[in-house]
Amino acid sequence: MPLPTKNSPPANAAPTSSRKPFYTSLWVQVVFAIVAALIFGYASPARAVAMKPLGDAFIRLITMIITIIIFCTVVTGIAGMQDLKKAGRVGGKALLYFEIVSTLALVIGLIVGNVVRPGSGFNINPASLDSAAVREYAGQAKAQSVTEFLMHIIPTTVTDAFAKGDILQVVFVSLLFGLALSAAGGRGKVLLDILESLTQVVFRVVNIVMRFAPIGAFGAMAFTIGKYGLASLGPLAKLIATFYVTSILFVLVVLGAIARIAGFSIVKFLLYIKEEVLLVLATSSSETAIPTLMEKLEKLGCSRSLVALVVPTGYTFNTDGSSLYMTLAALFVAQATNTHLTLLQQMTIFSVAVLTSKGASGVQGASFIALVATLSVVPTIPVAGMALILGIDRFMSMFRALVNMVGNGVATLIVARWENELDPEALKGWLA
């Protein structure tokens, strides 16, 4: 995906047709890698598990440059805005959208859990479960208050935000630098030019790293199949099927309706980001898609400043897939252990999940930790019951991460439409 140059067509121009051998397409290579990993993981589980470093190395390659990408794009975007009020307006609209849609996802998870009841019939005695692994996650889980959550946004030091790779803290620091650079006027032009050049170089680094995506996808998927095996899906097939179907319907129906109102097709958008979809499914991490997703959204006509604000913030506040999972999985654990939940207790889970779901994105396992923190506030639900789904969490995280990523892409286009940045005809040209 080459970056636009001065002689390139406008970012929102319709794509031109070009003929390339099909095997040179990234999505074809990733599909081949995933299929090969499935076969290899099934045929030789022990060797497949040894492929884990390939997936981990690719994820590290992506995560090592995410913070610098966010910093450069946010700072240059804010500093380049003619009207700084737009930054506040865009941020406000994005947060409003995030809260509405992610809360809707939590509600849908509750409804599906009560209607389908995927945990009924298990009749599990919590005392018979091996909760040692869950206790490890419980040690990391901590239900934050609103004040603690807001305080967490402010890093201890500027460098600490980048060292930890905390996306929300990096966005906060970047906003401050962008506003300061904008206020500097002409005196900050030299620094702005340097950052814009650095942004171009960083995205070229992304293009280089993405060439290793098939290898990373192979390693991650081979490890998943070799470690857990398809046989592990059997006992919990109803829960997995319920979550997968709910996730697909959420994307096609809920996000599809939102997309239709904004003037584009969700199916065509999914085809447009098919490389990112496959990569997220293979790695179970939505962070691997951030750099190229941002680049593709700019090509659709979204301004760099808007993309830089909405996408990184959405990975903390707009976790639709994690929201679906948390309420559905909480009800599953209660049903499987024959724990009756009153309406008030379900509303308590819902209220706590509104906060704990924030930040449950990116790295595989974050949503599981957030769910443990959520269940901890309802003593009647045995947290040890989480051991039931620990073994299949990797398979669940595939769709969690996918819905999170797609939801953030749709959110960016919606906010861009509200800001009148999108040309409907050019958008149709790209999503034809």
Kindly report, residue by residue over 178-212, the tens digit of the pLDDT.
Answer: 888 888 877 888 888 898 899 889 888 988 988 89
Judged against a pLDDT cut of 70, whether residue 132 lies above it is answered with: no
Q: 248 pLDDT band (50/70/90 cuts)?
A: very high
User: 3-state secondary structure string, the chain?
Assistant: CCCCCCCCCCCCCCCCCCCCCHHHCHHHHHHHHHHHHHHHHHHCHHHHHCCHHHHHHHHHHHHHHHHHHHHHHHHHHHHCCCCCHHHHHHHHHHHHHHHHHHHHHHHHHHHHHHHHCCCCCCCCCHHHCCCHHHHHHHHHCCCCCHHHHHHHHCCCCHHHHHHHCCHHHHHHHHHHHHHHHHHHHHHHHHHHHHHHHHHHHHHHHHHHHHHHHHHHHHHHHHHHHHHHCHHHHCCCHHHHHHHHHHHHHHHHHHHHHHHHHHCCCHHHHHHHCHHHHHHHHHHCCHHHHHHHHHHHHHHCCCCHHHHHHHHHHHHHHCCHHHHHHHHHHHHHHHHHCCCCCCHHHHHHHHHHHHHHCCCCCCCCCHHHHHHHHHHCCCCCCCHHHHHHHHCCHHHHHHHHHHHHHHHHHHHHHHHHHHCCCCCHHHHHHHCC
Kindly report, residue by residue over 154-186, the tens digit of the pLDDT.
Answer: 888 888 888 887 777 888 898 888 888 888 877
Kindly report, residue by residue over 3-24, the tens digit of the pLDDT.
Answer: 444 444 444 555 554 567 766 7
Q: What is the pLDDT of residue 1?
A: 41
Kindly report, residue by residue over 410-426, the tens digit of the pLDDT.
Answer: 999 999 999 888 877 77
Q: 51 pLDDT band (50/70/90 cuts)?
A: very high
C-beta separation of 378 from 344 below 8 A: no
Q: What is the mean pLDDT of residues 209-233?
A: 85
Q: What is the pLDDT of residue 365?
A: 56
Judged against a pLDDT cut of 70, whether residue 362 lies above it is answered with: no
Q: What is the pLDDT of residue 2?
A: 44
Q: How far apart are CA 29 and CA 24, in angstroms?
A: 7
Note whether residue 13 is domain-resident.
no
Report the CATH number that the domain containing residue 244 is assigned in CATH: 1.10.3860.10
Judged against a pLDDT cut of 80, whether residue 215 lies above it is answered with: yes
Residue 231: domain span = 22-430
Q: What is the mean pLDDT of residues 363-391?
A: 72
Q: Which of 378 and 19 is assigned the larger pLDDT?
A: 378
Q: Is 0.85 topped by the overall pTM?
A: no
Q: What is the pLDDT of residue 404?
A: 92
Q: What is the pLDDT of residue 135?
A: 60
Q: Which of 114 and 181 is assigned the larger pLDDT?
A: 114
Note whether residue 204 is domain-resident.
yes
| Average pLDDT over all residues of the chain | 82
Note whether residue 3 is domain-resident.
no
Note whether residue 4 is domain-resident.
no
C-beta separation of 315 from 167 below 8 A: yes
Note whether residue 258 is domain-resident.
yes
Q: Which of 147-161, 262-276, 288-302, 315-329 has the lowest mean pLDDT?
A: 147-161
Note whether residue 156 is domain-resident.
yes
Kindly report, residue by residue over 89-104, the tens digit of the pLDDT.
Answer: 888 899 999 999 999 9
Q: What is the pLDDT of residue 4?
A: 46
Q: What is the pLDDT of residue 385?
A: 75
**Closest to 286 measured CA to CA, from 165, 405, 171, 394:** 405
Q: What is the mean pLDDT of residues 62-83?
A: 82
Q: What is the mean pLDDT of residues 371-375?
A: 76
Number of domains in the chain: 1
Q: 140 pLDDT band (50/70/90 cuts)?
A: low
